[in-house]
């Protein structure tokens, strides 16, 4: 079995640990220096709930942050969102609209 290591943890990574009784997940809280620490019983059901929490947190990420092993391309944000189309696509669409006399 071969293992590959990520170059660094992704931005959405959380600190998790286990003791004799519980599984813990440390969640950073926005505008608060103290993190929230959630605990789940160290049973099949508790582990399932902890993994479901991690899965839900991952699914809430924007799609461009999900593949953390790919090099991140510089993204210009407008209103906190990445552009839907590239500048070239926008210019081509504008040229078509001008040709039709709409813009």
In a domain, 102, yes or no: no
In a domain, 94, yes or no: no
The pLDDT of residue 68 is 63
In a domain, 74, yes or no: no
In a domain, 29, yes or no: yes
**Nearest C-alpha neighbor of 53 from the set 20, 14, 17:** 14
In a domain, 90, yes or no: no
Residue 22's domain comprises 10-69
The pLDDT of residue 16 is 95
Report the domain count for the chain: 1
In a domain, 45, yes or no: yes
Model confidence at 25: pLDDT above 80 = yes
- Rounded to whole angstroms, the Cα distance separating 6 from 31 reads 28
In a domain, 20, yes or no: yes
Model confidence at 43: pLDDT above 60 = yes
Mean pLDDT value across residues 16-40: 93
The pLDDT of residue 30 is 86
Q: Which residues of 50-75 are buried (b: 16+ CB within 10 A; e: fewer)?
A: beebeeeeeeeeeeeeeeeeeeeeee
């Amino acid at each position: 079995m071969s293992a590959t290591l990520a170059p660094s943890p992704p931005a959405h990574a959380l600190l998790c640990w286990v003791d004799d009784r519980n599984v813990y997940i440390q969640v950073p809280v926005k505008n608060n220096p103290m993190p929230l620490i959630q605990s789940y019983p160290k049973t099949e059901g508790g582990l399932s709930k902890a993994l479901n929490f991690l899965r839900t947190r991952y699914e809430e990420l924007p799609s461009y942050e999900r593949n953390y092993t790919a090099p991140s391309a510089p993204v210009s944000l407008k209103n906190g969102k990445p552009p839907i189309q590239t500048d070239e696509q926008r210019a081509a669409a504008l040229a078509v609209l001008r040709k039709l006399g709409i813009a």
